[in-house]
A and B are shown apart, each in its own frame.
Chain A
Amino acid sequence: MNLFTIIWDGLRRRKIRSVLSILGIAIAATALFNLLALKQGYESGMQKELENMGAQVVAVAKGCPYEAIAVIMIGGQVPATLPEEALEQIRSVPNIATASPNVYGAYNYLDLSHPLIGITPEELKLKSWWKIQGRFPENFGEIVLGSVEAAVFTEKSGEFSQIGDTITVDALGKAVSLKVVGILESTGSKDDYSTFTTLETAQKLFNLEGRVVAVNIRVNEISQIPQTIEALEAIPDVQAVTIAQVLGTIRNLVATGQNMLLVVMLVAMIIGGLGTMNTMLMTVFERTREIGLMKAIGASRLQVFKLFLLEGMFISLAGSLIGVAAGSAATLMGDQILKNFVSVMPTQPIGQLSWYAAAVSILFPVTVGIFSSIYPAFRAAGLNPVEALKNE
């Protein structure tokens, strides 16, 4: 016989109540684990995604630059655009090493919308890691497919099987023939899910002749970025934002959401803790006579206190372990769930199981469990054995 035998005996004699208390804690622990694991994964995923843009600064038309960048990242139409002449003014700003103009839009093919990005050879200076099988698009209607797009088209289109084939797509309601001149090797970013064409092709297809949506910029001296931004914004209609600022804003948004969820989780944990306290108090009331018996046969106050404290701790430990297991499963499936609610998501899976999340999700509920059991355990330990034995 050991302490665990006695605690287990106490728990199994009120199975339903114990299970419900454990479940209450488990739900809160699952939420906590997911919150921590997904937050970490989302932040690092978004950082990687932004780094994959290859730019340090993005210049867009005046408006909300964050909205513009979000639309750029998920593919879609940006409401405000810059005149192409602004591009030359941007290039003339000191400290600009590369300025790559982009036009964003989407075409329909195989009943799905696909991002189409108009670029110039400048883009290759930003994305030095790009490896293209075939060649870069040079003429009107030529495209380079991202690796995933190429694989899907090969499998499903019936008209594309190799470089040189032409696909007929729907762009803004018009049937357009696009010739595949290259396939981009896998980059692990949004680029794998995109189609790239010449700037002129995209401008024409999306009725944006003479306009660009954004200019992705690399600078010579990072320390001079604030002055560069100031100079960029001196150009009429241009607004510039650094990728670091975008990342900071994303972090703030994530932190705000996380804080709200933390409050909800805290409330859930308090409810779970009160549930444990209620269970333990009921146990003390129901087992008053038994506690009297234990004392009569020699149990000390400390031994009785320990029994009930550990019983409460066991409930919260079991709940938190179940919570971490359920949270791990939910985290691994988190992308699918989050994609239904969050529009800007990294390409890479964001579910990251971490020891930190597991440790916090176990230690916090166990601490709550211990605090919830102190009062019931104190009551049990303080019972007068003579009175307790009289209890019916």
Chain B
Amino acid sequence: MIQIENVTKTYRRGREEVHALNGLSLQVQKGEFVGILGPSGSGKSTLMNLLGLLDYPTKGKIIIAGHTVEKLKTWQMDILRRKTVGFVFQQFLLVPTMSALQNVMLPMYFNGKQSAAGQAAKLLEKVGLGGRLHHLPSQMSGGEIQRVAIACALANNPEILLADEPTGNLDSKTAREVYTLFKEINRAETTVIIVTHNLELAYLIPRNITLLDGRMISDVQKDSAIA
């Protein structure tokens, strides 16, 4: 599903070159549930941007759903992204003036589906927000917003769900509820990759990859996931 071979990502900060990822290699199989751990600046978000087809690697090779990223043009990346990847961000990122339903319909619209209200409503019911379809983000709690964001991420039925610290701004109870949602999504064969600082959450995830200074320092596969 995902293959990363010796990938380097270098940014320029003034005259200084910053190696956000430094020769990283890993593989993720279809249907896996992976947690990415590591301190700030270890390269977690950079890795997510590359996996989410938002950026190109400086060096190395990335293959996602059979496509070699470096060979793709920007517009091809756009199409592959909208068909393959769903995103959940830490910052409760929704369009503030659109209702929960409209926010979920937005990625569907970009994917060419114009009349998708029924499907969007079903997704919101699936994440437990059947009664909040027409609420604006400002009328919902942080946990509810993240649920809407998860519904958005699932809107185009992606093969890969990426979440960048999705529980970072949530209390522990709500964080656990959100994690349960991810687990349910993963049961339906969607590959789920979560960046997290939350060790309690990481403990529940079957496979944990830890990064430090842009390199992988551990890749732990547990025998069975802990519910």
Contacts and interface: CB of A to CB of B under 8 A. Distances in A.
Contacts of A297: 82, 86-87, 106-107, 110, 152-153, 155
A79 interface: no
Interface stretch (B34-42, B93-101, B213-221): B93-101
Q: Assign chain B's interface to a size class.
A: 35 or more
B102 to A, nearest CB: 6
A230 B146 CA distance: 93
A384 B11 CA distance: 14
A6 B108 CA distance: 13
B87 to A, nearest CB: 5
A9 B98 contact: yes
A5 B82 CA distance: 20
A303 B98 CA distance: 18
A20 B86 CA distance: 38
A5 B110 CA distance: 13
Contacts of A13: 96-97
Interface stretch (A200-208, A286-294, A335-343): A286-294
Interface string A1-21: 110011001001100000000
Contacts of A299: 78, 82, 110
A303 B54 contact: no
A385 interface: yes
Contact of A386 (B55, B96, B98): B55
B102 A298 contact: no
Contacts of B152: 297
A301 interface: yes
Interface in B29-79: 49, 52, 54-55, 74-75, 78-79
B81 A290 contact: no
Given A2-B114, A5-B102, A386-B55, A298 B107 contact: yes
Interface in B94-146: 94-98, 102, 105-111, 114, 116-117
A289 B89 CA distance: 12
B137 to A, nearest CB: 12
B50 to A, nearest CB: 10
B156 interface: yes
Interface residues of A, number: 24
B78 A296 contact: no
A300 B95 CA distance: 17
A9 B95 contact: yes
B75 A293 contact: no
Given A289-B93, A300-B79, A294 B54 contact: no
A296 B53 CA distance: 8
B116 A1 contact: yes
A295 interface: yes
A300 B93 contact: no
Contacts of A229: none
Nearest to A299: B110
Contacts of B96: 13
A89 B26 CA distance: 113
Contact of B114 (A1, A9, A289): A1
A1 B109 contact: yes
A176 interface: no
Interface in A12-54: 12-13
A301 B102 contact: no
Nearest to A290: B95
Given A9-B95, A9-B98, A301 B74 contact: yes
A389 B108 CA distance: 20
Contacts of B52: 296
23 contacts: A1-B102, A1-B106, A1-B108, A1-B116, A6-B109, A12-B97, A289-B93, A293-B89, A293-B94, A294-B110, A295-B54, A296-B54, A297-B87, A297-B152, A297-B153, A298-B81, A298-B111, A300-B75, A300-B78, A300-B110, A301-B78, A386-B49, A389-B89
Given A301-B74, A386-B49, 12 more contacts: A1-B108, A9-B97, A13-B96, A13-B97, A293-B89, A294-B106, A295-B54, A296-B89, A297-B82, A297-B152, A298-B156, A300-B75
